[in-house]
Amino acid sequence: MPIRKIGIVSRTYRHINRYRQILTVLIKYGFDDLVDRLRIGHYLEIGLDLLTRKNHERVDRLTTPERIRKIAEELGPTFIKLGQVLSTRPDLIPADLVDELVKLQQDVPPFPFKQVREIVESQLERPLEEVFEQFEEQSLAAGSIGQVHRARLRNGDEVVVKVKRPRIDEIVEVDLEILLDLATLLEKHVEEARIHRPTRIVEEFTRVIERELDFTTEAAHLERFAALFQSDRTLYVPKVYHDTTGPRVLTMEYVPGTPAGDVEALQAAGLDPKRIAARGAQLVLKQVFVHGFFHADPHPGNVFVLPGEVICLLDFGMVGRIDRRGREHFADLLLAFSARDALRVTGALARLTERDEDVELDHERLERDVAEFIDIHLVTELGRLGMGKLLRGILDLLSRHRLRIPAEMVSMLRTLATVEALAVRLDPKLDMIAATEPYVRRLKFDRLKPTRVWRDVVDSGSELLHLAREIPGGLRDLMGQAKRGKLKIGFEHRGLESLIDTNERIANRVSFAIVCAALIVGSSLIVLSGIPPLWGEMPIIGVAGFVTAGVMGFLLLLSIIRHGRM
């Protein structure tokens, strides 16, 4: 699903109604100051000044995170899914907003069964009754992308069928293009938003939602997990039925189980919560540190427990991947924190993080802040702090230094923190960080094995040899371009956006004023000449010119006052 920047024509004919709806909801929930700062009225004339702002009194009682959540709920599937994705990115948004957006996981209204039938029959190219012996009309669960129904195949197998929402691809495509447009405006006009690079967030979100919109991708994730944990009897992955699966419909085995977050139900079923907590922690650590491929949305609604304390994971739409180097950098960070060595922690963070080209890392200041963090939070064992608090502390620290953790690393940390929260609910004494220690030390020792050291040396030597071979050719190309006079050096101008915008605004106002002056002068000549038609003794055309000039002058004055500049 390629998203493109919105042009004048596409904005007018394809996006205008949805754009108006989005801006109306933003204003309704008290974000009219943000709409003004985006300067959308300069090129999107949809009568924003006429949108009602009388609902502010009703939303003033809500906190800002609550208002953002309600905006997502009111704007529908794309924005709900964006909120859900952002709730897994505490590196980008404040903790109180993360806590509020987590609530978007629930209470998504289902769509009618008539549409479910149409979508399933269209995907499978057969009548529903020909494929399923039974198909329940009431949905088991509904999400922003699709909803789930229980059914029975003709061969008697009990299954669940996940069906994509109708027209969701078209809705998402338009919403993503509008989001990209808004993100571009944020970067251009709202200076404090540039550090978070909104356009990059939208592009990342686009990749996430594209994968979730194709159910064959989720089916592939299910089968990969099943293959990775084939010999592990503590995890059960539902079977996929390929004959009744496609981009819009996913059919998989129905697995009856007990929700992992319901301690009383687990105990009533004769299951041991402490054993479940320990197994769950081990499973996620194997996914991250052994396979580098993990379930990225393990909230309680996606984790069930089967007899024998076997854990069953559901909803594989969101998965994470982390390469060997990322796992090793994270292991270095945990070992440095365990040793309370501020210098090693600083080095590990520098290797782990990314930063913009204009950001120069102050190692000494970062080391001082790390030492202060260790003194305050690591007075006792690291496990007492917990994975969740450690994650938030690291992200706050990095934010002050304008450093970013790669998205896949944040996804991994968030997954570990989510599993820790669930496991501690089942066993308050469980130490997630202590459970990671064997995996971390194994990664450390693996790097010291002679075969690994030799492989790294060979790889580095191959890269150097390849670079040495490329250098003469590159120099020859540069010299050839210089001889032909085609060598080009590019310069990037920064900080001129506000100046250009100001000049454009000045030019527009001067043009507006010239037109007003011309109308006044022209209307005066018509009045003095007494050119008919007349109204009494006054020429009607001249009077109309004066009225038009007056309205335009008033609008110009209103625009100047609204932007706070006379």
Question: Cα(10)–Cα(499) distance, rounded to whole angstroms?
Answer: 28
Helices (H), 136-214: 168-189, 198-213
Contact 85, 205 (CB under 8 A): yes
3-class SS at 306? strand
Distances in Å between the Cα of 349 and the Cα atoms of 394, 401, 428, 442, 541 are 9, 11, 30, 20, 73
Which entry of 91, 175, 214, 297 is annotated as an active-site residue? 297
Q: Which H, E and C letters describe 520-558, residue by residue?
A: HHHHHHHHHHCCCCEECCEEHHHHHHHHHHHHHHHHHHH
3-class SS at 165? coil
Its sign, for the CA torsion 465, 471, 472, 473, is: positive
**253, 305, 297, 265: which is closest to 148 by C-alpha?**
253
Contact 67, 214 (CB under 8 A): no
Distances in Å between the Cα of 233 and the Cα atoms of 226, 237, 419, 421 are 11, 10, 19, 24
**Tokens (6 digits) for 414:** 């968030």
**385, 387, 371: which is closest to 288 by C-alpha?**
387
**201, 204, 207, 209: which is closest to 78 by C-alpha?**
209
Contact 221, 321 (CB under 8 A): no
> Is residue 297 among the annotated active site residues?
yes
Contact 234, 303 (CB under 8 A): no
**207, 270, 276, 198: which is closest to 235 by C-alpha?**
276
Contact 217, 234 (CB under 8 A): no
Residue 388 has φ and ψ, to the nearest 5°, of: -65, -45
Q: Which H, E and C letters describe 11-58, residue by residue?
A: HHHHHHHHHHHHHHHHHHCCCHHHHHHHCHHHCCCCCHHHCCCCCHHH
Q: Which H, E and C letters describe 320-388, residue by residue?
A: EECCHHHHHHHHHHHHHHHCCCHHHHHHHHHHHCECCCCCCCCHHHHHHHHHHHHHHHCCCCHHHHCHH
Question: Cα(462)–Cα(168) distance, rounded to whole angstroms?
Answer: 48
Question: Cα(460)–Cα(416) distance, rounded to whole angstroms?
Answer: 33
Length of the chain: 566
Active-site residue set: 297
